[in-house]
Structure 1
Amino acid sequence: MSTIDRDGPVPPYRQIADDLRRRIESGEIPPGRRIPSMVELEQQWGVARDTISKATRALKAEGLIETVSGMGIYVVDRSE
């Protein structure tokens, strides 16, 4: 998914978080892999950085991703 339903009931950041969650849970973005950068996600969805930040904060709160300082945001390996 690369389009946002700006008129729908689900906020854009939640739509992005839902899509990334689906990609993580399906294995499209496997554990230990870096998710696309903030800039890449901004361009992919055509949204502001704040929207991407909200989406990644939601996924971090769920324990799906973590920030590795200076390296990016990675999918957490929950099999450990």
Structure 2
Amino acid sequence: MTMMFGPDDLIDHDGPITPYRQLAAILKARIARGDWRPNRPIPSEARLVQEYGLARSTVRRGIAELVAEGVLFVMPQRGTYVSPSDSTEGAEG
């Protein structure tokens, strides 16, 4: 079951899609829109926790999903960055 989320969507805590998957889709949409450029950091986990009203573990799981897809990469002690690949362009939901 694939559901599209836009870059300005909020987390629907009562929806059928788990919050971490919603977050991953929203972050991917924001990257596709150009909010964060390749090789540039995304906001910190703490900021995403605040912005989306999620538990830190939920934010980490959403980020981990995007790292596994190759959309993001993690630099220890530095943060999470947008991958330089075109993995988000042309992707369907």
Partners of 1:34 and 1:2 in 2: how far apart? 21
Asked if 1:56 corresponds to 2:60, the answer is no
Percent of aligned positions with the same letter in both sequences?
Answer: 41
Indicate if the aligned counterparts of 1:24 and 1:75 stay in contact, CA closer than 8 A.
Answer: yes
Unaligned 5+ runs, structure 2: 1-7, 87-93
Asked if 1:7 corresponds to 2:14, the answer is yes
Q: Which letter does structure 2 place at the counterpart of 1:4?
A: I
Partners of 1:37 and 1:53 in 2: how far apart? 10
* Runs of 4+ with >6 A deviation: none
Choose the corresponding residue for 1:17, options 24, 45, 53: 24
Q: SS at the partner of 2:61?
A: helix
Task: Give the structure 2 partner of residue 36 of structure 1.
Answer: 43
Unaligned 5+ runs, structure 1: none
| CA RMSD between the two structures | 1.3
Q: SS at the partner of 1:42?
A: helix
